[in-house]
Amino acid sequence: MTLNLSPNIADPDGFYDELLAAHEGLDKAASDALNARLILILCNHIGDREVLRDALAAASKT
């Protein structure tokens, strides 16, 4: 499997909304904790170490 960096989420605006909504009302620490849990849950779902390594590399490039 290779890391998919093409559009893959249906209704991107709706998803983005949900992502922000999950953080609403949280202070910085609680928001950071939510992000960390979310990253761990998604990483586990992906599972493939190659893909995860590529994702880390893609995210590290700014």
Taking CB under 8 A as the rule, does residue 46 contact other proteins? no
Annotate 8-59 with DSSP letters as a single string: --SSHHHHHHHHHHHHTT--HHHHHHHHHHHHHHHHHHH--HHHHHHHHHHH
Closest approach, Cβ 37 to other proteins, in A, equals 5
Taking CB under 8 A as the rule, does residue 42 contact other proteins? no
Taking CB under 8 A as the rule, does residue 37 contact other proteins? yes
Q: Could you list the residues that contact other proteins (CB under 8 A)?
A: 29, 32-33, 36-37, 39-41, 44
